[in-house]
Structure 1
């Protein structure tokens, strides 16, 4: 059996995904396929590194040394052809924290911040909580695929937008933006003096025929206009260890960002176990990741084929990466409340409701396919049976 085929009991481990079903879905009788973590064990080298560190038994303040920063530098070079200087790195508990700090560092209350909808829910929350004005550039949806409306994007950027929170690869629609798309975005942001805050947390989870291009790699000028947020958390299922980093090539911008972190009490540190896991994952996790990506691609094909054959009302948006599938349920002709209720009460699956990603997502559901095949098969069978029974 593949290391990704084994089923682990995650209940009563304080798992958000498995132990909060009653709070989230008002039912414990659902199969959780929602929040973005995986039902797979981290690479064995990571687990062993954590065990060895725990054996020491002392968990004092932990520094980030050259071994840790070098593991990031080497990873980015190998996986993304991106040569960075270690001095460009800042550290944070998570990408969402970093985006909060970037918005505070480079914009003021009332400033316009742009997002491309439907998009990851915290993007909305950051803008609202920090009293910025939200500007939406809705993606174009056609034939189960999303593209960028560049005419609308330019119009919105020209309206006085100060920053663009960019999702690359995109959550939830699964797009891996190509070089032409990235270049157009970057050029428009330079033209209208708009900073790019690029959330690239899913950068490693790319299907084999695609390639993730960090937008900051397009040119030195674009790099200086970009704050890139990355982490091993989605890649290696380490979200609970609070370890991420920010890449800022421009020294002045980096100082401004670090100052924003310091004002909130963050001082360029990672917790002891996050530090250990990050280094071990980037040094030893490559073979594990390559197998994972193959499994995820197979799972995506399975879901698409099953729905096409047995529940054609459900259209799987063509995904190029991530372990999250965006499913068009509009043919069911249910409103957003009815759709959410149908999946919980009739299908008995716990999915992310598309409405949480903006009004453009109200007829959609997001499915997490990062689970053993037997779990996936059970979840998809439940959904198909419920659709057929309508």
Structure 2
């Protein structure tokens, strides 16, 4: 049964160095009191089991060098088996402070400067920045907006692979368009990558935030051959709202890939995780499932609230049907505004802050991304601010 009261707690996150709540004016370049509905973290406390485990460690009072014990790997193996029907070995797991740093490690370990790396826009902005900052070249095969959902242009995808691409960054589930790629789509992408000897780096950080009736399938679980060509990136950060604790996992059955990533770690002097990140990761994967099921039901209620509000008050806007995540991809093109004017409309008139669609690359024009991992009252307030801005 859903714990409504738990997710309805209005927790003031100011004075905690919250990027979402305390960097809003800086990010949106305004002095207005903007309601933040942008960066992808939640306004909810994590499972009590995680808090209890952290408090127990704090009470011990000594925070020296800490290694990552076998029990953490056991927790990850068990979670992948139970939640995603994916059998992995504990020695396939490596650790990193986050998925974005892991993308950087994979790029540095497995490609060379000047190599082409494939993305599918509109997509999470670090997919572009990590390629460019590592002196590689972005190759883009944009997704196709089929109005109610996005689809893969497989002709463009294959042409890009044959254009000298060395690595494919897969966003699965996709951020921001909220697609949970189906087995036939995953298999076709993977087979094309195998045919063209392209390494797959699959960002599956949102894989636990799946909305019914969709089902997440790890791309590496499709076959041994695909697994050997794939690096999968996961973390408890989005699932359990633990981003500030900076802990994630890199999973690959390919021993050569793992050895090359270890070399990058050695070159950078990385050998473990934050002590609290280790504890939180293990506790979340061992004891967080009931909390997660409650969270998903609450998020589904928030999404239903947005749909109903749009239908009644803002028919000018349409919502790409979300299949995963708490991030909604909102089509504002009927307003017939430039992206600059659209963003200023929401910031200046509505005093509500979204991620502008253009930050996600080609195909993001005319869209905004809205974070609904917050109380129902906050969602309604954000919607009312949107209404005020548009009706003005």
Q: Distance in 1 between matches of 2:142 and 2:311?
A: 27
In the TM superposition, what whole-angstrom CA distance separates every residue of 1:341-372 from its partner, at most 9, and x where no partner exists? Answer: 11101111011111110131121000000001
Query: Shift of residue 28 of structure 1?
Result: 4.3
| Residue 145 (str. 1) matches residue 149 (str. 2) | yes
Q: What is the 5 A alignment of 1:356-375?
A: 356-375=359-378
In the TM superposition, what whole-angstrom CA distance separates every residue of 1:255-279 from its partner, at most 9, and x where no partner exists? Answer: 0111122212212x11110001001
Q: What is the 5 A alignment of 1:95-110?
A: 95-110=99-114
In the TM superposition, what whole-angstrom CA distance separates every residue of 1:97-146 from its partner, at most 9, and x where no partner exists? Answer: 00001011111111110000000000110111111111101000022310
Q: Is the 8 A contact 2:25 2:34 kept in 1?
A: no
Q: What is the 5 A alignment of 1:1-390?
A: 1-25=4-28, 26-267=30-271, 269-389=272-392
Q: Flag structure 1 segments of 5+ consecutive residues without an equivalent.
A: none
Q: Distance in 1 between matches of 2:51 and 2:354?
A: 29
In the TM superposition, what whole-angstrom CA distance separates every residue of 1:197-247 from its partner, at most 9, and x where no partner exists? Answer: 100000000012010000000000000000101000000000000000100
Q: How many residues align?
A: 388
Q: Is the 8 A contact 2:345 2:390 kept in 1?
A: no
Q: Distance in 2 between matches of 1:89 and 1:367?
A: 33
Q: Distance in 2 between matches of 1:261 and 1:222?
A: 25
Q: Is the 8 A contact 1:6 1:372 kept in 2?
A: yes
Query: Shift of residue 163 of structure 1?
Result: 0.3
In the TM superposition, what whole-angstrom CA distance separates every residue of 1:290-332 from its partner, at most 9, and x where no partner exists? Answer: 0111111121121122112211111111110001000011111
Q: Is the 8 A contact 2:34 2:351 kept in 1?
A: yes
Q: Is the 8 A contact 1:21 1:28 kept in 2?
A: no
Runs ≥4 in structure 1, deviation > 3 angstroms?
Answer: none
Q: Is the 8 A contact 1:115 1:123 kept in 2?
A: yes
RMSD, aligned CA: 0.9
Q: Is the 8 A contact 1:21 1:27 kept in 2?
A: no
Q: Distance in 2 between matches of 1:342 and 1:123?
A: 28
TM value normalised by structure 2: 0.98
